[in-house]
Chain A
Amino acid sequence: MNEAASLRLLGVTIAVAGKAVVHDIDIEFAKGELTVLLGANGSGKSTLLNGLFGHPDYALTSGEIVLDGEDITSLKTEEKARKGLFLSMQQLPEIPGVTLTNLLYRARIELFGKDTETPVEFHQRMVVLAEQFELKKELLLGEVNRGISGGERKQSELLQILALSPRYVFLDEIDAGMDIDMQRKLRHIIQHLLGRGVGIILISHHIGAVKDLAPHRVLVMESGHIVERGDLSLVHEIEKNGFSGISKNAYE
């Protein structure tokens, strides 16, 4: 892997309420590659992502985040976003009175500076993208995460990714509760992003869907540690034996 063009976590430890719950994580994500992070509920996957992005309830207490050779550990959440990192969260707060189009237009200005597109042009472009990827375009003029179903929230997240063109995308159980049609759409978008050189880190419990995506790298977490690293064959093994069957407690 070209270290100058990658996102690396070096010995990252995350604490919640003063107690370390994710320990000494080393992972390297490459552009245009799909990494899948697996693990039982409570193994620390979402905690790791929240800590990386600087959620106030999660403290990164040691370790480094290095993007293309630059240490970005101490950057604020919004500064990490401006470096091209995007987190698709499990719980999405409502932003009343603000339409998705309006939010994304303003977010693009925050990320890239003054936009040459007008809000109307941007909206029209987003409608075309929504149609291209079979996402519900009506979400663009609705209030952000308000009065919509769980499935629509996932679609809203995908529209955000398409609008903001991030370089590394962390998808935290974005496929949870998705029906078969939506899973197909998600696969299409993931393949599209990978083709454009975006690095994708997917947390999922959906082993069948993960197999279909043919990830470049598979990691398994348990009790806040990475306990397994492998490729697609590891997914097959988990499907056969479950997490308990492959856990080696390597950190012990």
Chain B
Amino acid sequence: MDRPHEHNIGLVEDTVRQISSSKGEPEWMLELRLRAFALWQETEMPKWGPDLSGLDLANISYYSEPLHGASEDWGEVPDEIRDTFVALGIPKAEREYLGGVGAQFDSGAVYHRLKASLEAKGVIFEDMDVAVKKYPDIVRKHFMTSCVRIEEHKFSMLHAACWSGGTFIYVPNGVAVELPLQAYFRMNKMRSAQFEHTLIIVEEAARLTYIEGCSAPQYVAASLHAGCVEIFVGKSAEMRYISIENWSKNTYNLNTKKSIVAEDGNMMWVSGNMGAKVSMLYPSSILLGDRSHSESLSIVVGGDGQVQDVGAKAILLGADTSASIISRSIASGGSVVGYRGLVDVHGSARHALAHVVCDTLLLDGESRSYAFPVTRVCGSTSSVSHEARVGRVNDDALFYLKHLGFSEREAMRVLIGGFLHPIIKELPLEYAVEFNRLIDIEFLEGESRRSPHKALS
């Protein structure tokens, strides 16, 4: 296969211009990128959170120009790339239980297809690069303007300057997308960066489940993933966003995900986070409309010296809004697993409810856990609660399971599965099976422990 063209290592203004021109973007998008690049240059690295000193931003390739555009036929996708996605089970999943699939390899989409029945209802499911040109008005209105803002932090600026690929979804008023749509992002090059942008608009009384899967093979040099997800949930709309991220253990996963929810709207985040050297990820819901609701369910798995700094945010603005954040973390192999979250109840959010539960299971004596829950409440009509628990695997529970015939490994599998069950039950069956398999590989395969997709690298 022809190798895609790689832009120079390191980031200068010219790189940003090249990204934009190679995509044939409209002028407004170039201006957005350049403004973001200027902000990025003058902004320091974050002074809080995990140590990012191993991330050498001067030695990363920021963009790989794909030689092939996105196809609607797997047969037209280059063999080497198609084989990767076949091994990940994507075409099979598309046939069996998905309403549409997008697949991205490094910086560019290689496949995008939506079922015709959904297209007929006005649903748009498009590669983000294409959407910028095909639906400029709606993209320009929503792209890093009111949900995730460019100036939010150093890596949202970097993302805005270098973003490439990703997914655009639009679900019109009253349309229920019954089968999930899925995008799979594969980062394949060494010492590279991936900045896919996902923009989802679910209009009034519409319904959507969207699934994102991410992975990367194991390379010696560190890579960067700084994706961005923006979701607009309309009045009485329901959105379920499910992501399973399984990065190689030298990836810095610094992701930004946020939603704005209108009145009576419902946003659910379900996240499974595995892999990565350092993860910083805090899916956020801005509950703008009265009676809007958000739920954030996350599983965080730390192993082999990883640092997982993951949590959720809920900003409650409307009256009678409610938010629930449930986090379950497992730490082994000397990893550090932390919960960092925010519940911010504004004065306008009369009679708001918020509930946070974060539980951690430590599998060994070397791993650590911490929690930084921040709660701000303005006014006196709200009810906010927070629970946190950290526990180790209970010897009596292990003995109990062994006396029923379970080996130590199977007993651990039962205990871990039970601990994660409240979140895993929210995943579609096929993903629950896959996630359980990944957990097995992480904790229970001992000698054969490896990156689940290493064979593909």
Residues of A at the B interface (CB closer than 8 Å) are 53-57, 76-78, 80-82, 86-87, 89, 91-98, 103-104, 106-107, 110-111, 143, 160, 164
Q: Are B404 and A164 in contact (CB under 8 A)?
A: yes
**Contact string against A for B residues 131-149, beta-carbon threshold 8 Å, 1 for contact and 0 otherwise:** 0000000000000000000
Could you tell me the distance between the alpha carbons of A85 and B112 in the complex, rounded to whole angstroms? Answer: 57
Q: Are A78 and B418 in contact (CB under 8 A)?
A: no
Could you tell me the distance between the alpha carbons of A80 and B401 in the complex, rounded to whole angstroms? Answer: 12
Report A-chain residues with C-beta under 8 Å of the C-beta of B417.
97-98
B419 interface residue per 8 A CB criterion: yes
Q: Are A77 and B403 in contact (CB under 8 A)?
A: yes
Report A-chain residues with C-beta under 8 Å of the C-beta of B421.
96-98
Q: Are B402 and A106 in contact (CB under 8 A)?
A: no
B405 interface residue per 8 A CB criterion: yes
Q: Are B407 and A110 in contact (CB under 8 A)?
A: yes
Q: Are A106 and B419 in contact (CB under 8 A)?
A: no
**Contact string against A for B residues 390-401, beta-carbon threshold 8 Å, 1 for contact and 0 otherwise:** 000011110111
> Shortest Cβ distance from A7 into chain B, in angstroms?
15
Q: Are B415 and A110 in contact (CB under 8 A)?
A: no
Q: Are A95 and B403 in contact (CB under 8 A)?
A: no
Q: Are A81 and B394 in contact (CB under 8 A)?
A: no
A93-B396, A98-B421 are known contacts. Are A81 and B410 too (CB-CB below 8 A)? no
Q: Are B400 and A106 in contact (CB under 8 A)?
A: no
Partner of B394, one of A55, A86, A93: A93
Partner of B407, one of A78, A93, A94: A78
Report A-chain residues with C-beta under 8 Å of the C-beta of B408.
78
Report A-chain residues with C-beta under 8 Å of the C-beta of B396.
91, 93
Could you tell me the distance between the alpha carbons of A89 and B403 in the complex, rounded to whole angstroms? Answer: 10
Could you tell me the distance between the alpha carbons of A82 and B410 in the complex, rounded to whole angstroms? Answer: 14
Return the chain A residue nearest B400 by Cβ.
A93
Report A-chain residues with C-beta under 8 Å of the C-beta of B397.
93-95
B334 interface residue per 8 A CB criterion: no
Report B-chain residues with C-beta under 8 Å of the C-beta of A77.
399, 402-403
Could you tell me the distance between the alpha carbons of A76 and B402 in the complex, rounded to whole angstroms? Answer: 9
Could you tell me the distance between the alpha carbons of A103 and B404 in the complex, rounded to whole angstroms? Answer: 9
Report B-chain residues with C-beta under 8 Å of the C-beta of A160.
404
Partner of B405, one of A55, A96, A111: A111
> Shortest Cβ distance from A104 into chain B, in angstroms?
8
Report B-chain residues with C-beta under 8 Å of the C-beta of A143.
418
Q: Are B394 and A53 in contact (CB under 8 A)?
A: no
Could you tell me the distance between the alpha carbons of A178 and B120 in the complex, rounded to whole angstroms? Answer: 65
B331 interface residue per 8 A CB criterion: no
A92-B400, A97-B420, A98-B421 are known contacts. Are A56 and B405 too (CB-CB below 8 A)? no
Q: Are A97 and B418 in contact (CB under 8 A)?
A: yes
Q: Are A55 and B406 in contact (CB under 8 A)?
A: no
Q: Are A53 and B403 in contact (CB under 8 A)?
A: yes
Q: Are B405 and A110 in contact (CB under 8 A)?
A: yes
